[in-house]
Amino acid sequence: DPRWELRESILEFLRALLDGPSVPELEALVRCEGILSAVWELRSDEEAYVRASLLELLTAAVTYPRGGSDTTTTSTSSGTAVSGGGLRAYTLLHVCGGEAQFFQEVYQLLDDTEAIVRRSALRLLTKVLELDITTEHACLPVSAAVKAGAELSGTAAVAAPLMLLGV
């Protein structure tokens, strides 16, 4: 749809669903229908609000279900296994084309011209590293901003990397 407001509203609606209580049918729907795979294509949308909303949706997906102890293991085509509750491993491996592709794409969004996109990208990367749901992130080059956020806690974890990014 040519209206960016509609694209952003759909992403925000999906994020709100994932921010809610854990519902097994919702997770199954998101996996089976390829919803996250379809919206992943919006990472290059011309509207910054759409790109930022996509990143916020992915942040909700990697933390879904909230506080759940449900752990699943997903394997890549190369045989690498990733553990994580709910949509965590699924988001990184199947939606974003694997961990390396995920990190590469999100790192590029850290250089976006819009602060709202950079902030959302940093929030997503920080959450992924915080949850330790990846297998390859230790061997990937991590920007100084993400390193700073991972080494701190609380408000400082958000403030320090944002200052480095000029946000």
The token pair at 108 is 């590029």
The phi, psi pair for 67, rounded to 5°, reads 65, 10
- What span, in angstroms and rounded, lies between the C-alpha atoms of 129 and 43? 20
Each of the 167 residues of the chain gets a pLDDT tens digit; together they read 789 999 999 999 999 988 888 888 887 787 777 788 888 899 999 999 999 999 999 998 888 876 544 444 444 344 444 344 457 666 666 777 777 888 889 999 999 999 999 999 999 988 888 877 665 443 344 444 444 444 444 444 444 444 444 44
Angle at 163 between CA 159 and CA 167, to 5 degrees: 100
Residues 6 or more apart whose CB falls under 8 angstroms from that of 56 comprise 11, 12, 15, 120, 123, 124
Q: What is the pLDDT of residues 135-146, one digit of tens each?
A: 544 334 444 444
pLDDT at residue number 109: 94
pLDDT at residue number 28: 79
pLDDT at residue number 6: 95
pLDDT at residue number 114: 96
pLDDT at residue number 134: 60
